[in-house]
Copies of this chain bind each other. A is one copy, B any other.
Amino acid sequence: MPSISNKGRQMPASPIRRLVPYAEEAKRKGRIVYHLNIGQPDIYTPQVALDAVKNFTGNIIEYSHSAGNESYRKKLAAYYQKLNIPVTSDEVMITTGGSEALLFGLMSCLDAGDEIIIPEPFYANYLSFALTAGARIIPITAHIEDGFALPAIDEFEKKITSRTKAILICNPSNPTGYLYTREELETLRDIVVKHNLFLFADEVYREFVYDGKKHTSTFEIDGLEQHLVVVDSISKRYSMCGARIGALLTKNKEVYASALKFAQARLSPPTFGQIAGEAALDTPPSYFDEVVTEYQHRRDVMVGLLNQIPGVKCPNPGGAFYTVAQLPVEDAEDFCIWMLSEFVYQNQTVMMAPGSGFYATPGLGKNEVRLAYVLNKESISKAMECLAHGLKAYHQVKELAM
């Protein structure tokens, strides 16, 4: 039997999906599992997007342009321009999810052995895309004590080598919900320009910012134009994760031309997703007002209740719909599995994502979990009550075992 590649062996299994069998087993036993582990929103997709797909009148589901339908790119460029992101339709490439945009960007900018600096904790799949591109992730640790703010500039300087090609940020952040300030982005700009690096900015949660704050795009920061590759996605924005539509934005013509060659190889992004995505741009602003208000309430409920649990520490994130909390346990993964396999409270339990999967530095995040507030407030309240009881019971079990 031939052996698989080293790459295939090294590819990390999803730290979240690893727990799925335990959740499935719990459900088979008839238990209610509150899924705070993944970013699958329960918010309805805008009707205008669903209708557009239903109203498809073609007789053939044809390939589109490799960069995506021109009509969609034009409309998207207009949407970005309204947000002070000055891109034309030729600087926008429609991709199969934000994932593909990041992969095309990494492939276009980094060779095998090149380094990309990413503040950790970070979205776990960045590891997979870096490995696919053969690039090395160099983490810079952000800390729960200051809500996972951008680490100090000298932390970056220390990590920059001759192999450093890029810095990657997610703003607002998955998993921490941290919203970068304009000053932090300007700090990043200074490093990036000084060392002639690319800046990858994953801005897929752009719309989800709270407390009246405003999201600042990296495109609004002067001097970054030729350095910037922005990853976007409609998955969370319009609650249409399954459409598999994202976008790559760059004003760097070499990067765009290279990404387009990768795009041509895979022919085109999905037709129906593009139809839904283009129509979704007509979603009334009231949709977002409601959604953002709803998420903010959910965040307030979750973070408030979390901080009432003895030993739990949780910052108040400014955006996205995730938060990373510190739990009074030694091994959060063990605790998460235990919650699914051993614990039950009023026939309910909670599924969370263990924090260590979001760190590249071994040993970090072991007592942290990521929680997504993608359920309604009532479910979140119940899940937090469940978690509080779970932590208590877990300690009793651990003490007994000692």
Residues of chain A at the chain B interface (Cβ within 8 Å)? 1-9, 11-14, 17, 38, 40-45, 49-50, 53-54, 56, 58-64, 66, 96-97, 99-100, 103, 107-112, 114, 125, 128-129, 132-134, 165-166, 196-198, 226-227, 239-244, 252, 254-255, 258-259, 261-262, 264-273, 276
Contacts and interface: CB of A to CB of B under 8 A. Distances in A.
30 contacts: A1-B226, A1-B252, A2-B109, A2-B165, A2-B197, A2-B226, A5-B110, A5-B114, A7-B107, A7-B111, A8-B262, A11-B258, A12-B261, A14-B264, A41-B60, A45-B60, A53-B53, A53-B54, A54-B56, A60-B239, A60-B240, A62-B241, A99-B266, A103-B266, A125-B266, A128-B264, A243-B270, A243-B272, A244-B271, A272-B276
A273 B242 CA distance: 10
Contacts of A103: 266
A97 B241 CA distance: 18
Contacts of A3: 254
A343 to B, nearest CB: 26
A202 to B, nearest CB: 14
A270 B267 contact: no
A49 B96 CA distance: 21
B60 A262 contact: no
Contacts of A11: 107, 258, 261-262, 265
Contact of A14 (B13, B265, B270): B265
A344 B96 CA distance: 38
A226 B254 CA distance: 42
A123 to B, nearest CB: 10
Given A4-B255, A109-B2, A56 B59 contact: no
B109 A266 contact: no
Contacts of A226: 1-2
A244 B262 contact: no
A112 to B, nearest CB: 6
Contacts of A132: 107, 132, 262, 265
